[in-house]
Structures are given as structure tokens and as C-alpha cells.
Structure 1
Amino acid sequence: MSVLGEFKTFIARGNVLDLAVGVIIGGAFGKIVTSLTESVIMPIVGWITGGVDFTKYFVRLGDVPADFKGDPTAYADLKTAGVPMIGYGDFITQAVNFVIVAFIIFMIVKAVNRMTVKPEEAPAAPAGPTEVELLAEIRDALKARD
């Protein structure tokens, strides 16, 4: 089989197409959730915590360049300037984002499982005789033959 034929067979598999659709939808869904987190949830969390902006939490590991023309307390400005930093506030934001995505996916899967039509279970076949009952029948048949 040629490489082109193998590729066609590979692409035609249902699970490959399902995966591709899942990745595309997942990317779009991720953008929606990121927007929800950054534009709705984190401002509410900041409001509850007294106006705390998590992106301002970082540890600077290196010096600010002499030609730096930004806010020395702004994570984004320092990051653009190439200053080495640990942005734990950004990590907190991303962790909250992950929890939100995981919860929403859990709720979607739960809803789909409820909506999915379960195939009706076929009535169980009547239980046949047990081994003891079969042995008793054989014994009785043998006695009756004599």
C-alpha cells in the first residue's frame, strides 16, 4: 500500500476525526473559559479580596535593564523587557482557570450522560436449573431407567 493510501486510511478512521474535532472545539472552548476567568471571575475574586490583582504578584529574579521605560512594578512590562521573574500571581490565575474548565467539562459530561438514551436492557433470560438441580434430574432419570 502506498504512503498516500495509508494516510487516507489513517485519516478516514473515525477516532482521528473525532480527535481533530475535539481539539478544535477544545481550543475555542478554552478561549471562552479564559475570557470568563479573566473578565468575570477574577475581577469578582479581586473585589472580594479588596481589589487584589493577582497578575501583580511576582518575584523578580534579576535586575531591571538600564534602558527600561515601563512600570517597574508591572509584571507584563518587566516580562516584555526580558527580566527573569517568577509570576506566581499568573500561576494562581491559570490554576483557577483550570479548575473552572475542569468543573464545566464535568457538568457538560454529567448533562450529556443524563440525556444519552440508554439502550433498553433486554429482559434477563429465565434462569435455568442450577447444577445441583441438573444432577438431581440426572439421578432421578437414571433411577427411573432401572
Structure 2
Amino acid sequence: MSIMKEFREFAVKGNMIDLAVGVIIGGAFGKIVDSLVKDVIMPIITMITGGGVDFTQKFIILGKNPNNLQTLAELQKAGVNVLTYGNFLTILINFIILAWVVFLMVKVINKMRRKEEAAPAKPAPTPEDIQLLREIRDELKARKDA
């Protein structure tokens, strides 16, 4: 078997395609969650914490600030060592929401699978000829025992 034929067989198998689809959908889903956190949840949290809080602008200056710069963009542009914990908090909230949504999705999928497994399939009705043969067998057994 040639290496190209083996590779084609490997790439076309269901698991490889499923993985590719999962990665593509996961990337798009990640963008949706990023937008949810940035555009919906963080403004609500900012409002709850007093209205003037923007987590992405929360930082601690770790180095010297000779020009007394105040914004994160200015500090980073000047090369001042800055600990941007606000950005980390935003990403952490993003992760928690993403993990929660994935958990709920898996829970729903597992529930649907359990329903499918729990519903026993109705046995197919016994064909007439088989039923007749069973009756004949039972009658012959009854005559033999008598």
C-alpha cells in the first residue's frame, strides 16, 4: 500500500473529519464567548462594581516610571514593566464561562444519549410461521409427556 493511499485513508476516516469540524466550530465558539464576556458580562460587572471599573485597564507598575505615565498603553509603549492583572481577570472570567457552557452542552448531550439507551426497542412481532412452528413444537412436547 502506497504512503499516499494510507494517508488518504487516514485523513478520510470519521475521527479525523470529526476532529477538524470540532476545531473549526470550537474556534468560532471561542469568538462568541469572547464577545459575550467583553461586550455583555464585563460591562455588567463594571456597573455592579461602581461604574468606573474597566478590568482591562487594571495594572500594577513593577518598574520605574520616570515620566509618570498613567495609562497602560503609554506604559507598555515606553517599555515599563507592568503586571496587567485586569487582562488576566477578563481572560479567567472568559474561561469560566466557556467551561460552564461546554459543561452544560455535554450534560444535555449525555442526557439525550441516556434517553436513547433507556428506551428499550419494542420486540418485533413474531412472524406467523414461526409462531405456528412453536405451537406445533409445544403440542408435540405435550403429547410426548402424556
TM-score, scaled to structure 2: 0.69
Matching of residue 15 in structure 1 with residue 26 in structure 2:
no
The equivalent of 1:35 in structure 2 is: 35
Alpha-carbon distance between aligned partners in 2 of 1:78 and 1:85, rounded to the nearest angstrom: 7
Unaligned residue ranges in structure 2 (runs of 5+): 123-146
Q: Can you give the 5+ residue segments of structure 1 that lack an aligned partner in the other structure? A: 124-146
Q: After superposition, where does 1:68-107 map in structure 2 within 5 Å? A: 72-80=69-77, 82-107=79-104
Match in the other structure for 2:57: 56
- In structure 2, the CA distance between the partners of 1:78 and 1:10, relative to structure 1 (3 Å rule), is farther
Structure-1-length-normalised TM-score: 0.69
Distance verdict in 2 for CA 1:36–1:81, change over 3 Å? farther
Over the residues paired in the alignment, what is the CA RMSD in angstroms? Answer: 2.5
Structure 2 distance, partners of 1:77, 1:6, is: 55
1:10–1:78 Cα change, 3 Å: farther
Give the drift of 1:72: 3.3
1:118 partner SS: helix
Task: Give the aligned partner of residue 24 of structure 1.
Answer: 24
In 2, distance between residues paired with 1:76 and 1:14? 47
Considering fraction of residues, name the structure with more helix: 2
What is the deviation of 1:122? 7.0
1:65 shift after superposition: 9.0
Q: Which residue does 1:141 correspond to in 2?
A: none
